[in-house]
Amino acid sequence: MKRYDLDEVDRRLLRLLQTDSSLSHAALAEMARSSPASCWRRIKAMEEAGVLKAQVRLVDAERVGRGVNVMCQVRMKSHSPNDRQSFEAFLNTKPEVMEAHSMSGEWDYLLRIVAEDVAGYERFLMRDLLNHANVATAASHFALSQVKYTTALPV
């Protein structure tokens, strides 16, 4: 994948959009020290290049009853391409799995899972995750508090 060449105006735009994607082109232009037309062209170019992805609104997990945050390490029984693909397809069907990372080292996957409470996580773990044919074992780590959370990449 080719790296997109960013200049300083592009970087300012990315920082601004990661903070508030609802800003108008006029407001972005003023804050990025550029013209509205230039900002519009730059944003369109970054969208077409895949630098900018979907616009979303962030939801407060605790306010919607998903305040339990669990980091779950998973070890697989098999590492064949078909088994990994099956497990990854399974993960994509589970809305409580917020992130899934294929890992190097002792564990094969690291998952971030949200649940309404500990009992809700236990149901997911026992009924879904540990029942997958290719999961050998899992280790769960409950977050006590969220010290830092950001979706903004440093650019």
CA distance 36 to 24: 9
Cβ pair 111, 99 in contact under 8 A: yes
What is the fold of 8-48? Arc Repressor Mutant, subunit A (1.10.10)
Which pLDDT band, with edges at 50, 70 and 90, does 1 fall under?
Answer: confident
Q: Give the residue from 74, 45, 78 showing the smallest Cα distance to 140.
A: 74
Decide the pairing of beta strands 109-115 and 68-76: antiparallel
Cβ pair 124, 94 in contact under 8 A: yes
CA distance 78 to 134: 6
Summarised one tens digit per residue, pLDDT across range 128-138 is: 999 999 999 99
Sign of CA dihedral 17, 23, 29, 33: negative
Summarised one tens digit per residue, pLDDT across range 10-60 is: 999 999 999 999 999 999 999 999 999 999 999 999 999 999 999 999 999
What architecture is domain 62-142? 2-Layer Sandwich (3.30)
Summarised one tens digit per residue, pLDDT across range 87-143 is: 999 999 999 999 999 999 999 999 999 999 999 999 999 999 999 999 999 999 999
Q: What is the DSSP string of 64-89?
A: GT--EEEEEEEEES---HHHHHHHHH
CA distance 82 to 127: 22
The full set of domain ranges for the chain reads 8-48, 62-142
CA distance 74 to 108: 6
